[in-house]
Amino acid sequence: MSHEKDSAADSDAFAQRIASFLQDPVQLDSDFETRVMAAIEKENKGIPLERGEAFPTRDARQQDIRRRPSRNWWLREHRMTFSPLAMTALAIGFAAIVSLATAVVTLGIQGREAGAFPPQRVAAISSGQRPATPGRTAGLRSSRDTVYIMRFAIAAGAARSVSVVGDFNGWAKHATPLSPVGHHGVWVVEVPLPPGRYEYAFIVDGKQWVPDPLAIQRADDFDTHSSVVTLGS
Amino acid sequence: MDRAMVREEIQHALDQLPVDHREAFILKYVEDMSYEEMAELTGAGVSALKMRVKRSCDRLQELLEGVVR
Nearest to B59 by CA among B4, B1, B16, B2: B16
Most confident of A34-48, A210-224, B33-47: B33-47
CB A212 within 8 A of CB A200: yes
Cite the beta strand spans of A75-221 per DSSP E: 148-155, 162-166, 179-181, 186-193, 196-204, 208-210, 216-219
Mutate to test the interface with B, among A11, A14, A21, A29 (most CBs of B within 10 A): A21
Burial class (CB in 10 A: 0-12, 13-18, 19+), A124: exposed
The residue that leads in pLDDT, A156 or A47, is: A156
Residue A68: closest CA among A79, A59, A77? A77
Task: Quote the percentage of chain A above a pLDDT of 90.
Answer: 17
- B12 in reach of chain A (CB within 8 A): no
Whether residue A72 and residue B43 make contact (CB cut-off 8 A), yes or no, is yes
Q: Which residues of chain A neighbour B38 with C-beta distances below 8 Å?
A: none
- pLDDT at res. A41: 77
Chain B environment of A21 (Cβ under 8 Å): 3, 6-7, 10, 68
In chain B, which residues have their Cβ closer than 8 Å to the Cβ of A18? 10, 29, 60, 64, 68
For residue B58, which residues of chain A lie inside 8 Å, CB to CB? 11
Nearest to A18 among B40, B43, B60 (CB): B60
Contact list in A for residue B68 (CB cut-off 8 A) is: 14, 17-18, 21
Model pLDDT, residue A115: 42
Average pLDDT over residues A40-51: 65
Q: Do A18 and B29 count as a contact with CB atoms less than 8 A apart? A: yes
The string of pLDDT tens digits covering residues A162-196 is 999 999 999 998 899 999 888 778 889 999 998 88
Question: What's the distance, CA A129 to chain centroid?
Answer: 43
Residue at A220: amino acid letter: D
Residue A201 to residue A132: CA distance in whole angstroms? 13
CB pairs under 8 A between A and B: 45
Tell me the one-letter amino acid at A217. Q
Q: Is A207 on the interface with B (CB under 8 A)?
A: no
Whats the size of chain A, residue-wise? Answer: 233
Over 50: is that where the pLDDT of A12 sits?
Answer: yes
Whether B54 has a pLDDT exceeding 70, the answer reads yes
